[in-house]
Structure 1
């Protein structure tokens, strides 16, 4: 089976790539000229890399026709962590135009599955678990462009009867997570017993261990044809407060770190309700998380103990 992955140098993409390489596949990977390969540098000899900008239609179309992928995992995006926005054009190019061009490049191929990667941020603030048929009210340019990409992917999937589905990811965590994210920063500093600055302990996330995220993408391969244009939540279905998250990390890592609440400003779109309704996902994809939050944290902390040097100079520390 021929796999093509965009965004494979990112957190989720690199973990999917590792899974496929472990299963003896040789995935094809699109990267930008400016991509940092720190997450996948040990895999370069086992994959086929292409420097392809998704806004360069001619090169993109020619390369996709050459590969003839059967499964496409589209994860390329301009992310938003800690409220630090990329340039407006970066969001439009990576999140929306890149998705439109990627789908168009596969138009004449007889592929089995195309997973577009969306975000729970598309929903905006809600007062109950988020369902795929909720009215979306995104509160950032990142979320606006991700929602537009999701709507386009759903439109093409349904109108052209293509096996395109979208995963709205909630809050994955695990190996090779982004250095700026809460779980990464907290574990990294906790292992050195350093003090940790945070915002509001009552804010919440729906955390999902990365092994379960990868499992969802693999499950999609045999389901996309049946659910053309559909959207699926990928989360744990259980929200947890930042306070409880940090407390669990300190306990599982046996850390003596001191937590300084209120030292950071919360993002304007933070919420006290952020939870995935997994009813549709469980029913249609026959998927549900296998790891509890505590089990995933334990695995992640153990991974960080062995790979902490990778993050040296990348993670914020506090004095």
Structure 2
């Protein structure tokens, strides 16, 4: 177990990569803060919350130097195609139907991968032991809007969109308040959603053979 190995080693920092999903769901107002209660609504987020509690116990019991990083939805070049943005890019490029759960009204804060890296680096080097840091870009979009922008950039028709049954346990909205890391660690996101998405789409357009390599492995 990583925690046991870390406890027995002289490590400088244990970073627990968590998710905003552990907080549950928001309505159209408000934001998750580091003091928001943990209220996961589906098995995936419950498993992440359970690990967070276990990591916290090692900090409290053994003094393990830990930080918790709770991210918004990350996207960017070379992301595995099971995730929403690369999956929809691939289907659009292949002129295939693009299924959307429910009516695509769920809201997520979309966070570019390069900002993800700089946030982790700031926490690794300057985060105070035991502290939680919520990370986000404050770039909220509905799923349907994300897909429509992808189609617009690629130059495909919205008629590719089809609607299917909503996912079980689907949360309506996630939204982190990143004030703590901004104020305490002097971190700022550098990419807005439009720029990050164009960079991402361009990468997938230029690396079409990457899809084929993954498909042959799968």
- TM-score tier, shorter chain, comes to 0.7 to 0.9
Is 2:176 the partner of 1:276?
Answer: yes
- The correspondence for 1:254, drawn from 155, 163, 166, is 155
Q: Deviations over 1:84-109 (max 9, x none)?
A: xxxxxxxxxxxxxxxxx212201233
TM-score, scaled relative to structure 1: 0.61
Q: Which moved more, 1:246-255 or 1:264-273?
A: 264-273
Aligned equivalent of 2:125: 222
Q: Deviations over 1:215-273 (max 9, x none)?
A: 1111122113xx211111122123210121112111222223523342x2222332332
Query: Structure 1: which 5+ runs fail to align?
Result: 1-100
Aligned equivalent of 2:185: 285
- The correspondence for 1:194, drawn from 74, 80, 96, is 96
Is 2:33 the partner of 1:131?
Answer: yes
Query: Structure 2: which 5+ runs fail to align?
Result: none
Contact 2:100–2:144 (CA under 8 A) maintained in structure 1:
no
Aligned equivalent of 1:112: 12
TM-score, scaled relative to structure 2: 0.87
- The correspondence for 2:66, drawn from 150, 154, 164, is 164
In the alignment of these two chains, the number of paired residues is 212
Deviation at 1:314, TM superposition (A): 5.5
Is 2:136 the partner of 1:235?
Answer: yes
Per the alignment, do residues 166 and 147 of structure 1 end up closer, same or farther by CA in structure 2, a change over 3 Å counting? same
- Find the aligned partners of 1:291 and 1:158 in 2 and give their Cα distance: 36
- Find the aligned partners of 1:149 and 1:272 in 2 and give their Cα distance: 23
Q: Which has the higher helix share?
A: 2
Q: Which has the higher contact order (CA 8 A, sep 6+)?
A: 2
Deviation at 1:196, TM superposition (A): 1.4
Q: Deviations over 1:101-148 (max 9, x none)?
A: 212201233322221111222111223211121111112222122112
